[in-house]
C-alpha cells in the first residue's frame, strides 16, 4: 500500500529543483573546474602565488571582511531605530535601505567616486586630513560597505520585530541596567541573525565588480580586486589562468562561508 503525502508533488518538485540548480550552479561550476583542471598543480601554484594575484586576494578578502563587520555594527543600529522607534519619515528611511539592491552597481560606483574623489563633496574634507577616498583601498572598502549594508538590516529586522520588549522589561524589573539588558538579553537573541547578515554581506562583497572598478582606480598591486583581475586575464585570452584564479577564489570563499555557517550552527545548538 503506497503512503500518501499530505502535500503531493514531492517527486516532481524535487526533480525540478535539482534540474534548475544543476543548470544555474552545478554545471557552470563543474565547467570552471574542468577548464582549470587542465593545468597541473605546479601551474596552479605558479598562477595563484603570483604577487599580483596575492595582492588582489589580500585586498578582496580583507576589504570584504572589514566592510561586512562595519555593516553589522551600523546595520544593527539602523535596524534598532527602524524597529523600536516611530517617527515621521520612518517608512522613507526603511525604503532607502533597499536602495543598494535596486541601484545598478555601475551607477553606485560612479556616484561614490564623484563623492569621495579629492574634489568631491566628502573627499575634499578627507583630503584635509590626508585621507584619500577614491582610487585607494579605502575606496574599495566604501563601495563594499555600500553594497553589503542592506543584507544585515533585512536579516536582523524580522528577528528584532519578533523579539518584542517583554524580556527587556522583565530584566529591567530585576535591576539590570540598559547595557546589561543589551549584552545579556538582546544580543544573544540577535547573534545568529547578525552572523547570517555578516555572511551574506561578506559573500556579496567578495564577488562585487561594478561599483568597485570605478572607485578603486584599478591599480595593479594596490587597488586591484580579484574579479577585475579575472576579467583582465580573459581580455588577454588567458582563459586557463582566469579559470584557476576563479576556482581558487571560489574554494577560499566556500571554506570561509563553511566556517561561518558552522559557527552559526554551534551558536544555535547552544541556544537550544
Share of the chain above pLDDT 70, in %: 93
Burial group, residue 11, by CB count within 10 angstroms (0-12, 13-18, 19+): exposed
Q: How confident is the model at residue 18 (pLDDT cuts 50, 70, 90)?
A: confident
pLDDT at 187 over 80: yes
Q: Residue 114 has which C-alpha cell?
A: 564623484
Q: How confident is the model at residue 252 (pLDDT cuts 50, 70, 90)?
A: confident
Q: Give dist(CA 151, CA 148) in Å, integer.
A: 6
Does residue 92 lie in a domain region? Answer: yes
Domains held by the chain: number: 1
Residue 1 has pLDDT above 70, yes or no: no
Mean pLDDT, range 55-76, rounded to an integer: 94
Residue 271: what pLDDT? Answer: 60
User: Which CATH number do you get for residue 91?
Assistant: 1.10.3720.10
CA nearest neighbour of 205 among 134, 136, 145:
145
Asked if residue 125 is part of any domain, the answer here is: yes
pLDDT at 51: 93
89 found inside a domain: yes
Q: C-alpha cell of 92?
A: 522613507
pLDDT at 192 over 80: yes
| Block residue for cell numbers 527587556 | 168
Of 116 and 103, more confident:
116
Mean pLDDT of the chain, nearest integer: 85
Residue 267 lies inside a defined structural domain of this protein:
no
pLDDT at 237 over 70: yes
The helices-and-strands tally (H runs, E runs) of the chain is 15, 0
Place of cell 519578533: 162
The least confident of 4-18, 135-149, 179-193, 238-252 is: 4-18
- Residue 54 pLDDT: 94
45-58 residue pLDDT tens: 898 999 999 999 99
Q: By the 8 A CB rule, do 115 and 139 touch? A: no
Domain limits for position 185: 61-223
2 pLDDT higher than 90: no
Q: In the predicted model, is pLDDT for residue 3 greater than 80?
A: no
Task: Compute the distance between CA of residue 133 and CA of residue 122 in angstroms, rounded to an integer.
Answer: 8
Give the total residue count for the chain: 272
81 alpha carbon, distance to own chain's centre: 22
**117 in a structural domain:** yes
In a domain? residue 252: no
Q: Which pTM value belongs to this model? A: 0.84
Predicted local distance difference test score (pLDDT) of residue 270: 60
Instruction: Tell me if 255 is assigned to some domain.
Output: no
For the segment 133-161, the average pLDDT, to the nearest whole number, is 91
More confident residue, 87 or 267: 87
Instruction: Determine the average pLDDT of the residues in 93-111.
Output: 88
Amino acid at each position: 500500500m503506497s503512503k500518501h503525502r499530505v502535500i503531493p508533488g514531492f517527486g516532481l518538485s524535487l526533480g525540478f529543483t535539482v534540474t534548475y540548480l544543476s543548470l544555474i550552479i552545478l554545471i557552470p561550476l563543474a565547467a570552471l573546474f574542468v577548464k582549470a583542471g587542465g593545468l597541473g598543480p605546479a601551474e596552479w601554484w605558479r598562477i595563484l602565488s603570483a604577487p599580483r594575484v596575492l595582492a588582489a586576494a589580500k585586498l578582496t578578502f580583507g576589504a570584504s571582511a572589514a566592510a561586512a563587520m562595519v555593516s553589522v555594527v551600523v546595520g544593527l543600529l539602523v535596524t534598532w531605530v527602524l524597529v523600536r522607534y516611530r517617527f515621521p519619515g520612518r517608512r522613507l528611511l526603511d525604503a532607502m535601505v533597499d536602495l543598494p539592491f535596486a541601484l545598478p552597481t555601475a551607477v553606485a560606483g560612479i556616484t561614490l567616486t564623484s563623492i569621495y574623489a579629492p574634489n568631491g563633496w566628502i573627499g575634499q574634507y578627507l583630503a584635509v586630513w590626508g585621507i584619500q577616498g577614491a582610487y585607494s583601498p579605502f575606496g574599495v572598502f566604501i563601495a563594499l560597505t555600500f553594497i553589503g549594508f542592506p543584507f544585515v538590516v533585512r536579516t536582523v529586522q524580522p528577528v528584532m520585530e519578533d523579539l518584542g520588549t517583554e524580556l527587556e522589561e522583565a530584566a529591567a524589573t530585576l535591576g539590570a541596567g540598559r547595557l546589561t539588558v543589551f549584552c545579556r538579553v538582546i544580543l544573544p537573541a540577535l547573534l545568529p541573525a547578525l552572523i547570517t547578515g555578516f555572511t551574506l554581506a561578506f559573500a556579496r562583497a567578495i564577488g562585487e565588480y561594478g561599483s568597485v572598478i570605478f572607485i578603486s582606480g584599478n591599480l595593479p598591486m594596490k587597488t586591484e580586486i580579484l574579479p577585475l583581475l579575472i576579467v583582465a586575464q580573459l581580455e588577454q585570452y588567458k582563459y586557463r589562468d582566469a579559470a584557476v584564479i576563479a576556482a581558487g577564489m571560489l574554494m577560499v570563499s566556500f571554506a570561509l562561508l563553511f566556517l561561518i555557517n558552522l559557527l552559526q550552527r554551534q551558536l544555535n545548538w547552544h541556544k537550544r
